[in-house]
Amino acid sequence: MKVFKFGGASVKDAAGVRNLARVVKEQGPKSAVIVSAMGKTTNALEELVWAWLADDKPSIQAKNAQIRAYHEGIMADLTGDFAPVHQTIALLESMTQQPATGSRDEVYDQIVSLGEVLSTQVVAAHLQSAGVPTQWLDARQLIRTDVTFREGRVDWTETKKRVCEAIDKQQVSIIQGFIGQSTDGRTTTLGREGSDYSAAIVAYCLNADSVTIWKDVPGVLNADPKWFDDTVLLQRITYQDAIELAYYGATVIHPKTIKPLQNKNIPLYVRSFIDSDAPGTMIGDTGQHLTTPSFIFKINQLMISLHPTDFSFIAEDNLSRIFGRFAQAGVKINLMQNTAISFTVVVDNDPTRVTPLLDMLRQDFRVSYNDGLELVTIRYYDQSTIDRVLVGKRLLLEQKSRYTVQLVVRGV
């Protein structure tokens, strides 16, 4: 059994859906196909959630109209029985006409999850009409999580049982990425860009032969081609290197994807949906770490420094309080460093999460911060790669381990 994952970029239009059907037909019937929301639908649904929570009726109507028009435009150029898609659009519109109930994050998951429901309904209908025996499966009935909305934690035992029972190996199974359901029946999501992780979960449960994620790039490169011109394709990567690259922010793979595959020694291929004959990258037990330096850029970074106000040191008690606050606010730490009397962290500057965090931290610490920064991580660095990155930048903080250096810089 093979598992495939198609991201939003690969199904952003009718040509993308036809391309998916071609690739799936080429690869043979025994596959589970994980699909993300089409194009930028998740972002549009997020905006719908903010409008709904603010009870901004004109904005709710505009967002619903945009989502409807986008999906209808794609379906108009495809064949298939799209009745389920129309039902989901109608559900979305009727839900957002009622007042929002539940916590902000629960409301988010109820709505944002529908992007993947829509995309898989479109894809399944098109595959059926193209003569591919297809079963549409509802990931909310397969992936069991706890009730951590927007970052659901998987119940592996229950998920494995459900996935194995549901998959019909004689058909192509179409499954939503990114979404699941808590034991008490409420929809959860697995974190933004979490569809790669969904593919790994399904592969783990099925003891799959391989996972292939189809991307708009030739494979994993030694830097994001959006930022770098001279990138190099990394043909083979160890699980360990892939985990490190993803953890530091190489957005080509979701960081949680690798571990379940490594545990079962399932190879992960990253290949181009544009050039589907090209081999791409193989991530697995290759036995040899990378020899090319890899670069990871994160922009819009905020460096926060905390200083105790009561003359105490930054020791275990203060650290545990600080980490508790970050966990409570759902803010992930990209880099941290401490001295006796200060603790510095670098985080993504997402005001919806960071503003409440700063308010909480100010109760116990003097807080200072710098915004508009970049965080550059180089894996397998040498001095010349560091020098290259620092051209035209001011270095604010540097942290080195044996294989990895992280540089916090400001453009000058």
Ligand X SMILES: N[C@@H](CC(=O)OP(=O)(O)O)C(=O)O
Ligand Y SMILES: Nc1ncnc2c1ncn2[C@@H]1O[C@H](COP(=O)(O)OP(=O)(O)O)[C@@H](O)[C@H]1O
| Residues annotated in a binding site | 5-8, 42, 116
Q: Residue 8, interface with ligand X (CB under 6 A)?
A: yes
Report the distance separating Cα 409 and Cα 286, nearest Å: 34
Interface residues for ligand Y in 229-268 (CB under 6 A)?
A: 250-252
What angle (nearest 5°) sits at the alpha carbon of residue 202, between those of residues 201 and 208? 110
Residue closer to ligand X by CB (options 259, 307) is 259
Residue closer to ligand X by CB (options 118, 306) is 118
What angle (nearest 5°) sits at the alpha carbon of residue 162, between those of residues 157 and 165? 125
Binding test (CB under 6 A) with ligand Y, winner from 106, 109, 193, 241: 193
Binding test (CB under 6 A) with ligand X, winner from 152, 177, 267, 280: 177
Q: Residue 37, interface with ligand X (CB under 6 A)?
A: yes
Residue 12 sits at φ, ψ, to 5 deg, of: -80, -10
Nearest CA to 116 among 139, 146, 87?
Answer: 139
Instruction: Identify residue 315 by its one-letter amino acid code.
Output: A
Binding test (CB under 6 A) with ligand X, winner from 109, 193, 244, 374: 193
Report the distance separating Cα 39 and Cα 5, nearest Å: 14
**CA 181 to the chain's CA centroid:** 17
Report the distance separating Cα 394 and Cα 398, nearest Å: 11
Query: For ligand Y, what does the binding mask look like between residues 29 and 68, x meaning CB under 6 A?
Result: -------x--------------------------------
Closest separation between CB of residue 68 and ligand X, Å?
Answer: 18
Q: Residue 7, interface with ligand Y (CB under 6 A)?
A: yes
Residue closer to ligand X by CB (options 38, 322) is 38
Round the CA-based radius of gyration of the chain to a whole number and report it. Answer: 22
For helices 83-95 and 57-76, give the axis angle rounded to 10 degrees: 170
Residue closer to ligand Y by CB (options 10, 212) is 10
Q: Residue 178 touches which of ligand Y, ligand X, none (CB < 5 to 8 A by kind)? A: ligand X
**Chain residues that interact with ligand Y, rule: CB under 6 A:** 7-10, 36, 193, 215-217, 220-221, 223-226, 250-252
